[in-house]
Amino acid sequence: MGIVADVNVRAVPDDVVARLREQAAAEGVSMSEWIRLALADRAALPTTAELAARRAGLAESAQPRDEFDVWYRQRLHRRPDRQLA
């Protein structure tokens, strides 16, 4: 891992914080860890422009599903308590 930065988010509504806390508890992690995982998952998603470029260049194949499977398995490996269904 490269440089690690602190991020401070202000003015998060109480109901949003409560929901994040619930989701973290359901996953068995701290709220900070849950937010880090959620941000990492979101950052790994392609932008709209990247998706459009990918769609424009794809021939019909199973590649998009294969890419999702790779991403999903990598995500699970970050959280060893999770198993593939």
pTM of the model: 0.60
Residue 37 within a domain: yes
Residue 36 within a domain: yes
pLDDT in tens, 39-75: 999 998 888 888 877 777 765 555 566 777 777 777 7
Residue 35 within a domain: yes
Residue 70 within a domain: no
Residue 29 within a domain: yes
Q: What is the pLDDT of residue 14?
A: 97
What is the residue-averaged pLDDT of the chain? 81
Q: What is the pLDDT of residue 1?
A: 61
Q: What is the mean pLDDT of residues 14-20?
A: 96
Residue 75 within a domain: no
What is the domain count for the chain? 1
Q: Which domain holds residue 16?
A: 11-45
Distances (CA, A) of 80 to 8, 54, 61, 66, 74: 28, 31, 31, 21, 10
